[in-house]
């Protein structure tokens, strides 16, 4: 352990994701084992600017591994995007004697972390977002839980849609990425899945699939779309006009962020939290803890932010193959 690291701050920023609490717990307990004190920064970068903090010890993080959300709260901070705001954040780090920050969140969080690192504050990032759209890592904390939440909701919707012989249009999160929509769509046997990575051909991607399903004997249809494709109500209205079926639109919204994290998210968060502290304790910082084929990797933060992530389109091919004769 580097004797230089005596006290670190922990914050969660951006959209909350199930498993953030498990990561906070892992950071705190690993740090204590390394003789490092922990300070929880509440409300993300905004809290660092305004010196909104709480001391964390082992009892502070007991019984949180199974809880969704984040005990440190989260917020977005426009002030941190200004040079003045970042200088105030640096001032808080100096005042509290922080030797580094562990930042848990997505790309926006890491861009803030990069700016802070350029001002001399060591930072290690842990990726947590239900969209799974961070370029430098195969997996982000929260994705599995969000998928399972969507699947549970859609399974219940299917029961009533089947009873009334209707079409259900379900809008899930994913402004720029379709990881969540495609994973969920395959898992629920959707008639059609619409994702931002694939240009929408409404006739081919929606109308023909509904017709094919009807010809195969189906009387109910499930369309899953990522919010980045368009509004679910607009898609529903186009379906009504094109094929005359009666769509019911459900926007799952922020329910996708809630709930107890799954085992995968708890375990991944725990490993990432441990790795973040060990990196900092051993003198490595200004990096993101990512995953690659199940293994944890450290990626320099500037390089990490330049990396892009592409949807595995073979999954879309699987969807096509499994729905070409209807659900």
Query: Would you please indicate which residues are annotated as catalytic (active-site) residues?
Result: 131
What is the spatial order of strands in the sheet that 167-172 belongs to?
A: 192-194, 221-226, 167-172, 247-251
Q: 180: closest CA among 217, 143, 221? A: 143
Q: Residue ranges of the alpha helices (H) in the chain?
A: 20-33, 44-49, 83-96, 107-117, 143-164, 179-188, 202, 208-215, 232-243, 263-281, 301-306, 313-323
DSSP string for residues in 203-223:
IIIIIHHHHHHHHTT---EEE
Q: Which single residue is written with the structure tokens 């944890």?
A: 296
Query: In angstroms, what CA-CA distances link 36 with 95, 155, 160?
Result: 17, 46, 54
Question: What would the two tokens of residue 14 be?
Answer: 């951006």
Contact 289, 271 (CB under 8 A): no
Contact 136, 301 (CB under 8 A): no
Taking the C-alpha atoms of residue 198 and residue 221, their distance in angstroms, rounded to an integer, is 21
Count of C-beta atoms within a 10 Å radius of residue 83: 9
Taking the C-alpha atoms of residue 20 and residue 9, their distance in angstroms, rounded to an integer, is 15
Contact 179, 144 (CB under 8 A): no
Residue 86 CB contacts under 8 Å (≥ 6 apart), including other chains: 80, 115, 116, 119
């Amino acid at each position: 352990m580097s004797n230089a690291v005596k006290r670190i701050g922990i914050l969660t920023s951006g959209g909350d994701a199930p498993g953030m609490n498990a990561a906070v717990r892992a950071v705190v307990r690993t740090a204590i084992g390394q003789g490092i004190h922990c300070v929880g920064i509440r409300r993300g970068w905004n809290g660092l600017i305004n010196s909104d903090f709480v001391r964390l010890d082992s009892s502070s993080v007991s019984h949180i591994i199974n809880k969704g959300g984040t005990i440190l709260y989260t917020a977005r901070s426009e002030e941190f995007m200004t040079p003045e705001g970042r200088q105030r954040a640096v001032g808080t780090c100096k005042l509290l004697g922080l030797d580094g920050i562990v930042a848990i969140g997505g790309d926006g969080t890491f861009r803030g972390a990069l700016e802070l690192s350029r001002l001399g504050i060591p930072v290690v990032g842990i990726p947590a977002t239900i969209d799974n759209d961070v370029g430098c890592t195969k997996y982000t904390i929260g994705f599995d839980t969000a998928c399972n939440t969507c699947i549970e909701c859609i399974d219940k919707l299917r029961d009533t849609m089947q009873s009334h012989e209707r079409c259900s249009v379900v809008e899930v999160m994913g402004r720029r990425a379709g990881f969540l929509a495609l994973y969920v769509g395959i898992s629920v046997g959707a008639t059609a899945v619409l994702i931002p990575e694939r240009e929408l051909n409404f006739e081919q991607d929606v109308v023909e699939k509904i017709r094919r399903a009807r010809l195969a004997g189906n009387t109910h249809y499930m369309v899953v779309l990522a919010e980045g494709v368009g509004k679910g109500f607009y898609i529903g209205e186009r379906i009504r006009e094109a094929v005359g079926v009666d769509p019911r639109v459900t926007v799952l919204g922020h329910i996708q962020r809630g709930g107890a994290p799954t085992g995968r998210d708890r375990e991944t968060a725990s490993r990432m939290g441990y790795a973040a502290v060990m990196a900092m304790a051993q003198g490595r910082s200004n990096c993101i803890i990512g995953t690659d084929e199940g293994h944890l990797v450290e990626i320099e933060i500037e390089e990490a932010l330049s990396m892009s992530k592409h949807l595995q389109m073979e999954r879309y091919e699987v969807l096509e193959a499994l729905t070409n004769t209807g659900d």
